Amino acid sequence: MNRSYLTMPHVEKGMQVGLFGGSFNPPHAGHSLVAEIALRRLGLDRLWWMVTPGNPLKSGRDLAPLAERLRLAEAISTNPRIQVTAFEAAHRLRYTADTLALVKARNPGVDFVWIMGADNLRDFHRWQRWRQIAMTFPIAVIDRPGATLSFLSSVLAKTFDYARVDEADASRLARMKAPAWTFIHGPRSSLSSTLLRAARKA
């Protein structure tokens, strides 16, 4: 694995940067679609595609090697504004709250927004220190098949209902003070990492 993946990408003050993290086991066109929608609708200068060492809420038994997941993410992320990284592995970070705290401390003057697919919204309140995550950076939730209504019923949506930003104002989200979140509708891919892993085993 190229050691440059273990270094936090460089960004300049004043930039709007999306943070798109996950185990990506494997990464697929659905992830790429989420990244492209986020770049366009949020008006981002950069998007960090953060391939994590592992997910504390998921079994690591079927987890492909980090180097392989990085290679596959790099292969499908063709937009030059997308930077594939695994800097969390170098800092031995396991929880998103710790990652965001480090990113914020290292990059004063940069406006970050956390990006996640709507399929993660349902269980977001099970993440370690999830309220802290919501209070660190604004959050953009990108629609995924079968998860469209989750933004109404999720614990995050109910807890931070007062901080919801209209989708029409998504391009202003990164500059807003957390908590602030929006749900972005758009094209959806039916691909999922779970189904792709199952197909490989069949």
pLDDT tens per residue, range 28-58: 998 999 999 999 999 999 999 999 998 766 6
What confidence tier does 151 reach under pLDDT thresholds 50, 70, 90?
Answer: low
Q: What is the pTM of this model?
A: 0.90
- Which sequence spans correspond to the domains of the chain? 13-201
Give how far Cα 8 sits from Cα of 17, 48, 128, 132, 152, Å: 13, 9, 22, 21, 34
The half-sphere exposure of 192 on its side-chain side, counting CA atoms within 13 A, is 12
In this prediction, residue 198 carries a pLDDT of 45
- Look at residue 18 and give its three-state secondary structure: strand
In this prediction, residue 54 carries a pLDDT of 80
- Tell me what percent of the residues of the chain surpass a pLDDT of 70: 86
- Chain mean pLDDT for the chain: 89
- Domain 13-201 fold is Rossmann fold (3.40.50)
70: pLDDT strictly greater than 60 = yes
Q: Rounded CA gap, 177 and 175, in Å?
A: 7
- Tell me what percent of the residues of the chain surpass a pLDDT of 90: 74
| pLDDT tens digits, one per residue of 94-125 | 999 999 999 999 999 999 999 998 888 888 99
The backbone region for 31, taken as left when phi is positive above 0, alpha when psi lies in -120 to 50, beta otherwise, is alpha
More confident residue, 149 or 136: 136
